Amino acid sequence: MTPTPQDSTQPAHSTVSRRRLFGVAGAGALAGVSGVAGWGIASARDDQPAGGPLAYAFHGEHQAGIVTPAQDRLHFAAFDVTSDSRESLIELLEAWTVAAVAMTAGELVGGGAPQPYDAPPQDTGEAQDLDPAGLTITFGFGPTLFEKDGVDRFGLRDRQPEELRRLPHFPADNLDEVRSDGDLCIQACANDPQVAVHAIRNLSRIGFGTVSMRWAQLGFGRTSSTSTTQATPRNLFGFKDGTANLHAEEPEELSDHVWVQPGDDPAADWLAGGSYLVARRISMRIETWDRTSLREQESLIGRDRVEGAPLSGGTEFTEPDFALQGRSGPIMPMDSHVRLAHPAQNNNTKLLRRGYNFTDGADALGRLDAGLFFIAFVREPLTRYVPMQTVLSRDDALMEYLEHTGSGLWAVPPGIAQGHYVGQALFT
Ligand SMILES: C=CC1=C(C)c2cc3[nH]c(cc4nc(cc5[nH]c(cc1n2)c(C)c5CCC(=O)O)C(CCC(=O)O)=C4C)c(C)c3C=C
Ligand SMILES: [Fe+2]
């Protein structure tokens, strides 16, 4: 059996590689899932030495890819359901679950069992010789899955969480409809871009006829740490990002701020143990930033660039002193990003940030189309994230260098038990 861990924050250094499999279609933990004929998985060899490629278990209390130490690469995709059949939707979620179990374990979709020579292979093949690379696949359900244009498409209207509504228009938003929203989302993260892309490609392929991809985003270079074992990375403005983030090692904080609790929403108890995923595609005016003095850059952020320490003093992890005065006012400027985003200014709101840098080529003026694909997990998006975003969009001096071009909110079901499919409690 594949030596995968029970906890998605704990890596298993297995030596699983797709090319070292022997094909046993339908074997493994998902044997109990119904309606997924043709999408069985292979068992990996169990005679590999310890230490080697990184694999995270797909099964667990919470979905992997939230508190899992943030990997280096992202492929994020939003889908619309094109079928109006509840049964087809359930079958898709079953099939996606089977494929996700296989791919996160470094196995081939379909199990690598002998297949007809005259049929397309079940796995698209580009990750065949690659190890799992810490792949996590995280699924989310958008507001339009529950009701769209007043229509209860899948009999789910009564189970829509109160907090799952389309995000409002924030000041200065310049959203592109084709980069926003979606009935379903999948976040694939890995330390190898080809593994992340392979995951989205294969899930999309499996969904052919039931869903169509609405939009997608590639990301490189994580912009946060989600574990205290990780060094703080830097965003494309050159600043350390993720210093004051929530971490996997703070279970009480996660219960308070990230995981939906039983009783939070009586109509949506199926979501207990899950969370909400907020995505914002934020373009960054890199060229303008690069012509801005270091003094100005630091006062916009509220931290120094080299160390990441608050301007009020100390080192990276010193708490900012918002009361400290300089010659012309507070040392931590009133409109600095860190001041306005700090829990002290936001009714103790804390988010688990898990974003990525992106570049999508250049625009017609020769400027980099680059930025930060902001992802955050939060227990109550409307009552906690929306007020914070409203303040930042309105008052944050950094906004002069930013443009929000994409947006979405999805409910992320809890972790999946062996033999179950993602979001199963919503349909039962
Ligand atoms: C609504 C939430 C947030 C958005 C959108 C956002 C965009 C954004 N942030 C940076 C750069 C940095 N952010 C930092 C801290 C920080 N940011 C948010 C929230 C949003 N940021 C929070 C809650 C915090 C933590 C505040 C605190 O408790 O101190 C930092 C400082 C380092 C750190 O703590 O992570 C930087 C740098 C950019 C460039 C950006 C949009 C492109
Ligand atoms: Fe920020």
pLDDT tens-digit readout, 98-153: 999 999 999 999 988 888 999 999 999 999 999 999 999 999 999 999 999 999 99
With a 6 Å cutoff on the Cβ, whether 153 touches ligand 1 is no
Relative to the alpha carbon of 377, which ligand is closest? 1
Check if the beta carbon of residue 409 is closer than 8 Å to that of residue 164: yes
What is the residue with the minimal CA distance to atom 31 of ligand 1? 241
pLDDT at 417 over 60: yes
Q: Which one of 281, 286, 337 would you pick to mutate in the ligand 1 pocket, going by the greatest count of ligand atoms within 8 A of its CB?
A: 337
Q: What pLDDT shows up at residue 114?
A: 86
In tens, the pLDDT along 249-268 reads 999 999 999 999 999 999 89
Dist. CA 341 → ligand 2 center (Å): 7
Q: What angle do CA 105, 109, 111 make, to 5 degrees?
A: 85
Q: What pLDDT shows up at residue 112?
A: 81
Mean pLDDT over 220-242 rounds to 97
Question: Strands (DSSP E) along 107-172, which ranges?
Answer: 136-141
Alpha-carbon distance of 263 to 271, in angstroms, equals 10
In tens, the pLDDT along 51-66 reads 678 999 999 999 999 9
pLDDT at 34 over 50: no
With a 6 Å cutoff on the Cβ, whether 402 touches ligand 1 is yes
H or E segment and range at residue 286 = helix 286-289
Residue 413: strand, helix, or coil: coil
What is the residue with the minimal CA distance to atom 11 of ligand 1? 241
Residue type, 103: M
Dist. CA 144 → ligand 1 center (Å): 28
Question: In 3D, which of 179, 190, 246, 220 has the Cα closest to residue 356?
Answer: 220
Instruction: For residue 333, give both structure tokens.
Output: 């400027």
Question: In 3D, which of 128, 93, 131 has the Cα closest to residue 110?
Answer: 128
Question: Strands (DSSP E) along 152-257, which ranges?
Answer: 184-190, 211-222
Question: Strands (DSSP E) along 246-303, which ranges?
Answer: 275-284
First to last CA, the chain: 31
Q: How sure is the predictor about 22, in pLDDT bands with cuts at 50, 70 and 90? A: very low
Relative to the alpha carbon of 376, which ligand is closest? 1
With a 6 Å cutoff on the Cβ, whether 388 touches ligand 1 is yes
Q: What pLDDT shows up at residue 42?
A: 30
With a 6 Å cutoff on the Cβ, whether 235 touches ligand 1 is yes
Dist. CA 277 → ligand 1 center (Å): 16
With a 6 Å cutoff on the Cβ, whether 351 touches ligand 1 is yes
With a 6 Å cutoff on the Cβ, whether 282 touches ligand 1 is yes
Alpha-carbon distance of 163 to 57, in angstroms, equals 28
- Chain-centre distance of CA 80, in angstroms? 18
Give the start-to-end residue ranges of the domains of the chain. 73-111+121-156+165-423
Antiparallel, parallel or unpaired: β 356-362 and 21-27: unpaired
Question: In 3D, which of 386, 9, 400, 407 has the Cα closest to residue 182?
Answer: 407
In tens, the pLDDT along 141-185 reads 999 999 999 999 999 999 999 999 999 999 999 999 999 999 999
With a 6 Å cutoff on the Cβ, whether 338 touches ligand 1 is yes
Dist. CA 92 → ligand 1 center (Å): 36
Mean pLDDT over 271-297 rounds to 98
Q: Give the bridge partners for 140, in sequence order.
A: 185
In tens, the pLDDT along 342-359 reads 999 999 999 999 999 999
Check if the beta carbon of residue 182 is closer than 8 Å to that of residue 214: yes
Alpha-carbon distance of 328 to 70, in angstroms, equals 39
Atom of ligand 1 nearest to the CA of 374: 5
Give the predicted TM-score (pTM) of the model: 0.91
Q: Which one of 223, 241, 395 would you pick to mutate in the ligand 1 pocket, going by the greatest count of ligand atoms within 8 A of its CB?
A: 241
Residue 140: strand, helix, or coil: strand
Q: Which one of 318, 350, 374 would you pick to mutate in the ligand 1 pocket, going by the greatest count of ligand atoms within 8 A of its CB?
A: 374
Check if the beta carbon of residue 81 is closer than 8 Å to that of residue 89: yes
